[in-house]
Amino acid sequence: MSDGGNGDFEFERRFFVRELPAELLAEPSPAFIVQSYYLAEQGYALRLRVQASDAVVPLEAMDDDLAVLDALADRVDFCALTVKSPMNEGTRYEAEREIDVAVGLQMIRLGGARVVKNRYSIWLGSDGWVVDVFGGANRPLVIAECERGGPVTDLTIPAFCVTEVTDDRRFANDALSGAPYSGWAAQFEAELAAEGPRFLQGLGHNHFERDDAPGGA
């Protein structure tokens, strides 16, 4: 279960990344993740995730995610079934149950709308972040996420975070499984150019590592 002292809830903030500093990915070994969604509607989701730790997958050359998963099947070391509710300013209900890897692999082969990604775990200051580099129809999307055991307040936002997408439903993984980023990337970039970056204002004070961000030093 995803229990950080607040029951079955996750607390996170998510950011769109256009270019990630290479040095941040130099040391941590990524995990290759395949997520299959059997329900993804109005922010509610039923998800099955399998993960192969320390697996480096060249996503730019990946044509068949199931073939890649089959090739890595003996390295898959985690599988979980998760129920999620819609996000509300960085808080989302999440109940997770770990299941047998062999059962999970077969279920993913049999159905669901899939999302594939390499996930990097890094420390920035006192916060743990994960950076998801997506493959398949969601390539070249990169999302950085900070998660805590309680509301993510007074966050120091790294310079590589272009804009916050915590409450942008399009960027939720369950939404990406049905409407991949490649289909609306140009529209999003046009919106960003016209409206500029946005960051949640109701979660304490945002601290920015760059001078040009709203509210930055």
Domain membership of residue 168 (yes or no) is yes
Indicate the number of domains in the chain: 1
Tell me the average pLDDT across 164-170. 96
Alpha helices in the chain (DSSP H): 65-71, 101-110, 173-178, 185-195
Query: Domain residues for 81?
Result: 11-208
**In the 8-state DSSP scheme, what is residue 141?**
-
Domain membership of residue 2 (yes or no) is no
Domain membership of residue 217 (yes or no) is no
16 close to 167: Cβ distance less than 8 angstroms? no
Domain membership of residue 213 (yes or no) is no
Domain membership of residue 95 (yes or no) is yes
Which helix (H) or strand (E) element contains residue 128? strand 127-134
Condensed to tens digits (0 to 9), the pLDDT of residues 86-107 reads: 999 899 999 999 999 999 999 9
Does the pTM exceed 0.85?
Answer: yes
- pLDDT given at position 197: 97
Tell me the average pLDDT across 16-20. 93
Domain membership of residue 6 (yes or no) is no
pLDDT of 55 higher than 50: yes
- pLDDT given at position 214: 55
199 close to 164: Cβ distance less than 8 angstroms? yes
- CATH code assigned at 130: 2.40.320.10
Nearest to 145 by CA among 160, 133, 129: 129
217: number of Cβ within 10 Å: 8
Q: For residue 151, is the peptide bond before it cis, meaning its omega torsion is within 30 degrees of 0?
A: no
Domain membership of residue 86 (yes or no) is yes
pLDDT of 216 higher than 70: no
Band (pLDDT 50/70/90 cuts) for residue 185 is very high
Condensed to tens digits (0 to 9), the pLDDT of residues 136-162 reads: 999 999 999 999 999 999 999 999 999
Mean pLDDT for all residues in the chain = 90
- pLDDT given at position 7: 62
